[in-house]
Structure 1
């Protein structure tokens, strides 16, 4: 019979294939996982891992044990989570918003894991328009939102940064900047900048689409947009340039566009926000699930 700590230590090493990372993942003292696995191997009389100075791999016996233990361990974890969710009243509907495609990917992954452990709670997901980034949350259309920071609203709470993206300049493919490896924030003063219009706070718009460079040079204004999908064709047609996440090239790339990273701009930070009076057990459970997935602990 295997003890719980032996199962968890074995599974952590089998998934990380690295004793130090497995130790950090379990929050144990340095060397503790190696001791547990070593005792387990001696008790079973078989080697579960092949160790060299450079790598750790599963032996055939270790792989067979992992294939048998991992699904059962997952089922136990989900059963416990479901029991806790029932006891805490995590039922009903949770509405989660996102403001970009890459934030949407994170929300969808989290929702899939959340549904497995909170069977009594329905998750609804929707995109939040940039022209009114806090409006749906305030109106109760969504309960929780993964969005661009900064957030400095007295009625809203911002959690910690979940992930950060490199900031880039979106330019026409024939623009002189397109031939560079990187650009400077000061270069924004040399071309009209396409920005968002609408009800989003001025400080939020200024952080993403600034009106001046760090040296105080005015940035000429180009056309404005309401929905982000308007931006790529505006840039490709030469109407102006835009600021975007570098990752946007994977979602909004098209002929006639180039994304050039900034060498001196702050990152684009994303995090969860919720109403100050709306931190329910559902919101907390979804937040915990997202943080575990982001940390590599699904």
Structure 2
């Protein structure tokens, strides 16, 4: 079989840039070469083709009909070559494929889109699939590998899990029935929880997680009465609306779950609730690391965790 002559990549690149610029000086600047070197490369390519690709005069540079045909043939091939190499590098790093991202409630709030957009821009060969988790078992899907990485409420204090960048920090409110006396207050305190019924939970969330979000006693030690156990957030809202109890929540709940039969009253002395990226110690794949890096960089670009 006869050997087919194929130009080198730098020759094709020089040809395509000159075909776009039609100016040796601008082409040399883009390629960071001297004009003499660009001219030398183009002449070598023309010798290999066997005919001129450009018409050169003292005033202008123009493609010959053969040069225009070659440009049209090469552009999609050259672009495809670059894309193929990018995919190969991404695959070698293990970033291509599918990344399963779990999120609890509103996730990282408005910063979620920034994180996703940044990740997709950096890793177009990786598809993100989103999965909602529930507060009855916020860590279960991560531990079962249903999701690769999780955007969830803290605290998370598990030896097999890693807590990454905090992406959202917000104050807490007390969700009460719209007709409740607390609904007329400017704010309430943790001590006020001793005078109401606070809903309990059913599920596999760590005890310390619930004790943070729904404490068992006030700061002075007064017990907080627990009501009916609930399994989902919508069930919790329905029970509050019908006057069967109250519940501490993140302040963003008012924005995303506002309804006329529930009032959200600032809980002035409660610590902020944070949302962070969490993943398995044994599941720190290249895709997970890339997502964590995107989350970190989005937080930095935002000037810190998102706030409400």
The alignment's TM-score, normalised by the length of structure 2, stands at 0.67
Aligned residues: CA RMSD: 2.5
- Match in the other structure for 1:12: none
Q: Secondary structure at the match of 2:282?
A: coil
Q: Secondary structure at the match of 2:255?
A: helix
Residues 81 and 219 from structure 1, CA distance in 2 versus in 1: closer, same or farther, beyond 3 angstroms? Answer: farther
Please tell me whether the aligned partners of residues 81 and 117 of structure 1 are also in contact (alpha carbons under 8 angstroms). no
Please tell me whether the aligned partners of residues 200 and 226 of structure 2 are also in contact (alpha carbons under 8 angstroms). yes
Most deviating of 232-241 and 81-90: 81-90
Q: How many Å separate the matches in 1 of 2:257 and 2:170?
A: 15
Unaligned residue ranges in structure 1 (runs of 5+) = 4-77
Q: Secondary structure at the match of 2:223?
A: coil
Unaligned residue ranges in structure 2 (runs of 5+) = 1-25, 30-82, 304-308
Deviating 4+ runs (over 6 angstroms): 80-84
The alignment's TM-score, normalised by the length of structure 1, stands at 0.69
- Match in the other structure for 1:143: 148
Q: Secondary structure at the match of 1:137?
A: helix
2:190 matches 1:176? no
**Shift of residue 81, structure 1, vs aligned partner:** 8.7
2:276 matches 1:271? yes
User: 1:115-155: CA deviations, max 9, x gaps?
Assistant: 22212211111111111111110100001001111111111
The count of residues paired between Structure 1 and Structure 2 equals 223
Q: How many Å separate the matches in 2 of 1:282 and 1:228?
A: 30
2:190 matches 1:190? no
Please tell me whether the aligned partners of residues 173 and 248 of structure 2 are also in contact (alpha carbons under 8 angstroms). yes
**Shift of residue 108, structure 1, vs aligned partner:** 4.2
Most deviating of 115-124 and 171-180: 115-124
Residues 288 and 268 from structure 1, CA distance in 2 versus in 1: closer, same or farther, beyond 3 angstroms? Answer: same
User: 1:169-210: CA deviations, max 9, x gaps?
Assistant: 001111111111111001111100013211111111111111
Q: Radius of gyration: which is bigger?
A: 2
Most deviating of 136-145 and 81-90: 81-90
